[in-house]
């Protein structure tokens, strides 16, 4: 299973800021590392591309997002099997 570094970046846009629980925010960036199966990765990418309100339906309190990007980077394994 590939170990991935996932980065979700949300920024405000000309339509307005990100709104979380009624609070205006200019930018949110979340990074995490996790192992995913290839089918899980494809499910995430497909949902990201096809569902218009993907983030607001998945994140509690998130009411509006301007621009967003999702980056998936495979992490190399070290000699002992760990990832960097």
Rounded distance between C-alpha atoms, residue 60 and residue 4, angstroms: 24
For 3, other C-beta atoms within 10 Å of its C-beta total 16
Rounded distance between C-alpha atoms, residue 58 and residue 18, angstroms: 15
- State the DSSP code for 53: T
What pLDDT score does 48 carry? 87
What pLDDT score does 82 carry? 59
Q: Which residues of the chain have pLDDT under 70?
A: 78-84
């Amino acid at each position: 299973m590939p170990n991935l570094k996932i980065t979700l970046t949300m920024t405000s846009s000309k339509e307005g800021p990100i709104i979380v629980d009624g609070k205006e925010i200019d930018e949110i960036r979340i990074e995490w590392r996790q192992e995913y199966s290839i089918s899980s990765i494809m499910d995430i990418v497909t949902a990201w591309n096809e569902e218009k309100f993907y983030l607001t339906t998945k994140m509690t309190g998130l009411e509006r997002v301007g621009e967003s990007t999702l980056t998936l980077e495979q992490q190399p394994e070290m000699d002992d099997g760990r990832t960097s």
